[in-house]
Structure 1
Amino acid sequence: ELRHWVTELPTTPEPLSKDTHVQQLKMRHRDLEEQVQRLQELLRIREEIADEQGQAAQRKLHDAHEHLQQASAREQDLRRQVQKRDEQQHLLLQAYDELEKAYEELEHRTEEQEQSLQQQLLALEDRWKQQQLQQQLHREEELQDRQGQRQALQQLERQLQDRIDQLHQQQNDSKVKELQGSQLRQHLLYKQPRELRYWVCDVLGPDAVPDKQLRLRLKEAEKQLNEQV
């Protein structure tokens, strides 16, 4: 540019005045100051950019370091969890083995108890059958005794009724009254069984027994007969 400017100058340049020369120098100085300011501004911008990039890099590095620490902490947590899970699994296996053994022992004991209960049940059933059989035999014996007593009473009743019927047919009223006398009645009461005495007293009536002691004996015989029935 200087060469081009020199070539364009007139061959006989006009001498510059002092003021013009000073003004040109000032303008040149101002231009240089502006360039310096622009360069300083560019440098400042570059420094700010560099600082920002450095800070961003530091932040990224810090974040990466934090992520690394977090990852390491998570890894340690996972290892602890895995170890804890392994321990729990081991404890569960031990508990399962113990439970299986306890179940086997309980099953064995249950079988023994069941056999013992079955034996006790069979023994109780046999005892109950024996008691039932004894009670049945006792009832049959009582029934036979009652049937025998009833048959004996019925036979005595028939005999006495036949005897009275015969006396009614064979004898007249005077002989019947004599039959109701105290001597023959006492003879029958003392010679026949106690059931017959009760029946004779019932047939002849309580007034037909003049003896007070005899009436008491008849009542006692009636009481015993009721207890037997």
Structure 2
Amino acid sequence: MITLVPYHQDGRLPDSSFPLPGLDFVPVTRELPDGDVWERLAALYELVSAEVADQVAGGTRPAVVSGDCLTAEAVLAGLQRAGVDASIVWFDAHGDIHTTESSTSGYIGGMPLRQILGADTGLLADRLGLRPLPEDRAVLVDARDLDPAEAEFLASSKVRHSPVDDVALPDGPLLLHIDVDVIDAADLPGLKFPVGGGPSYDAVVTSVRRIMATRRVAALDIACPWHLPEGDANVLRGRLLRDLLTA
């Protein structure tokens, strides 16, 4: 069963944003409370975290699809709640390792991996009961578009930075997070934050299948930061989601 979180941050997205033809899924939605974006996300992600924990307890490997990377914090919190001490493998064209201080844009979607590693925990992690992950248990895959502050952090951290075709896996069970914009923008049109010069569609799917074959993936989290579909875009997107979810 796939858990669908049809949001980009705290904004509800149309169901048509997530083509899941022939795949069983359960949407997680709720009326969000008043407050700042972090309060609203905490309310939504509490449901996601509980759903992940329940699936693990029932012997199911969770698979979560959403509109951005922040949902990964809820997925990891759910694994921890279920007693799974997971490391993380993070596929992304970007670093997602900004803090609120280092970010020049203020875009919170550029912060989740750094929050998982223990930055700004009062914003979301503490509210979800998420325990910070040691840096040496995180692998950032591709991340070809780094801001100077992110590159500086990576240079002095224990986070491993790997290419798509040679991912150095951390120890233990894994949360495998895939931001679909890791795929070269030419192979996947309509992305909110497209980056050229990246790995092909096939290279990413092959790498994901290689990791899944280790049987160490405790949960799969897929972020789809793309614009509403036009024309035949959903055919390609549906094929991609099926390829990733059935890898």
TM > 0.5 = no
Whose strand proportion is higher, 1 or 2? 2
Q: Smaller-chain TM-score range?
A: under 0.3
Structure of larger gyration radius: 1
TM-score (norm 2): 0.19
Larger RCO, structures 1/2 (Cα 8 Å, 6+ apart): 2
Whose helix proportion is higher, 1 or 2? 1
TM-score (norm 1): 0.20
